[in-house]
Amino acid sequence: MSNIQEQINILVEVQGVEVEILQADRLVNALSDEVTAMDQAAAERKALVSAEKETLDALKKSYRELESESKINAGMIVKSNEKLRGVKTNKEYQSILKEIDETRKKNSGIEDRMLELLDAIESAEAAAKVKEAELAGFLQSCQEKKESFAVKAQRERQAVDALNEKKAQISAKADPELITVLDDVKKKVRGLAVVPVQQAICMGCHMNIPAQLFNELQRFDELRFCPHCHRIIYWKEPG
């Protein structure tokens, strides 16, 4: 086996390890994205629960205000009844009776509204409890998934560490100049930087290479590049 062929095999091996590292990194990033998505979903659900509580608090506040107004009106009716006992003219008597009647009608409307609010409060409390229960279940599920994701992410990070060490060991066998060439090509192309040529077709861009270049590849006397995608190419014996 020629020295160039050996070096290309090393570059291919380095590239293979880099692909594994990339896959592991992508998985770690995907797990991180999952956690971010769960946190966002949890925040949205918490906002819904908060909105339900705010609605409930507003209803209760309205009820308390009406209740306070009703008590004031009831007190006014009591005072008006007391005034009736001391009136001396029929006109004044009729005026107070009218005042009492209007206050009672007003209070009747308030009491109707209070009953409506009690129904609304009951419904809002039930809805808030459902949302709180749903949120608690969702948060518990998220926590369990996060713990599972953390274990997976840690395992992948350890795998990346081991792969980086493996890559360093393999790279140490390569000609430093060829590693530099490999790094330069990686910056210029998407995907694999070292690809085989099969039946005169570059497996990187799937374009035909010139027949002369295909014949030269089989000599393994120097690095050669695809004239179309500029990847490092090598001849791979059909098998």
- The pLDDT value given to residue 128: 92
Dihedral angle over CA of 162, 168, 174, 178, nearest 10: 110
How many other CB atoms are there within 10 angstroms of residue 180's CB atom? 11
- The pLDDT value given to residue 160: 97
Q: Closest Cα to residue 9, out of 200, 127, 170, 228? A: 170
- The pLDDT value given to residue 1: 43
- The pLDDT value given to residue 2: 55
CB 201 within 8 A of CB 208: yes
Please list the pLDDT of the chain residue by residue as tens digits (239 residues): 459 999 999 999 999 999 999 999 999 999 999 999 999 999 999 999 999 999 999 999 999 999 999 999 999 999 999 988 888 899 998 999 999 999 999 999 999 999 999 999 999 999 999 999 999 999 999 999 999 999 999 999 999 999 999 999 999 999 999 999 999 999 999 899 999 999 999 999 999 999 999 999 999 999 999 999 999 999 988 76
Q: Closest Cα to residue 7, out of 177, 209, 203? A: 177
Burial call 103-131: b when 16+ CB within 10 Å, e when fewer:
beeebeebeeebeebeebbeebeeebeeb
Q: Closest Cα to residue 145, out of 23, 33, 21, 22? A: 33
The pTM assigned to this predicted structure is: 0.74
CB 121 within 8 A of CB 59: yes
Q: Which CATH class is domain 28-158?
A: mainly alpha
In the chain, which residues fall in CATH 1.10.287.1490? 28-158
